[in-house]
Amino acid sequence: MRTLISQSQLEAGVRDLAAQLNQQYDGRPLTVLGVLTGSVVLLADLIRQLEMPLRVGVLQARSYRGEATSPGELVVNIDLMPAVEGCDVLLLDDIFDTGRTLDELVRRMHTCGAASVRSMVLLTKVGRCEVEYCPDYSAFDIPNEFVVGYGLDYDDHYRNLPFVAALDPDEIAAGAQ
Ligand code: 5GP
Ligand code: MG
Ligand code: MG
Read off the pLDDT of residues 24-51 as tens digits, 9 standing for 90 and up: 999 999 999 999 999 999 999 999 999 9
The range of the structural domain enclosing residue 108 comes to 9-62+70-143
pTM for the structure as a whole: 0.95
Instruction: Give a yes or no: residue 110 inside a domain.
Output: yes
ipTM confidence: 0.97
> Exposed e or buried b for every residue in 46-84, given b needs 16+ CB within 10 A?
bbeebeeeeebbbbebbbbeeeeeeeeeeeeebeebeeb
Residue 86: CA atoms inside 13 Å, Cβ hemisphere, count? 0
Residue 106 within a domain: yes
Active-site amino acid positions: 97
* Residues measured by CB to lie within 5 Å of ligand 2, the ion: 38
152 found inside a domain: no
We report the CATH number of the domain holding residue 36 as: 3.40.50.2020
Average pLDDT for 122-134 = 95
Average pLDDT value over all residues in the chain: 95
Identity of the residue numbered 88: D
How many domains are contained in the chain? 1
**Is any atom of ligand 1 closer than 6 Å to the C-beta of 18?**
no
- DSSP 8-state symbol, 97: S
Q: Is residue 154 part of a domain?
A: no
Q: 60 CB under 6 A from ligand 1?
A: no
The closest ligand to the CA of 63 turns out to be: 1
Residues in the chain: 177
Percent of the chain residues topping a pLDDT of 70: 99
Q: What is the pLDDT of residue 177?
A: 61
User: pLDDT digits over 66-89, tens only?
Assistant: 777 777 789 999 999 999 999 999
**Ligand 2 centroid, distance to 42 Cα (angstroms):** 12
What pLDDT sits at residue 4?
98
Element (H, E) at 41: helix 40-47
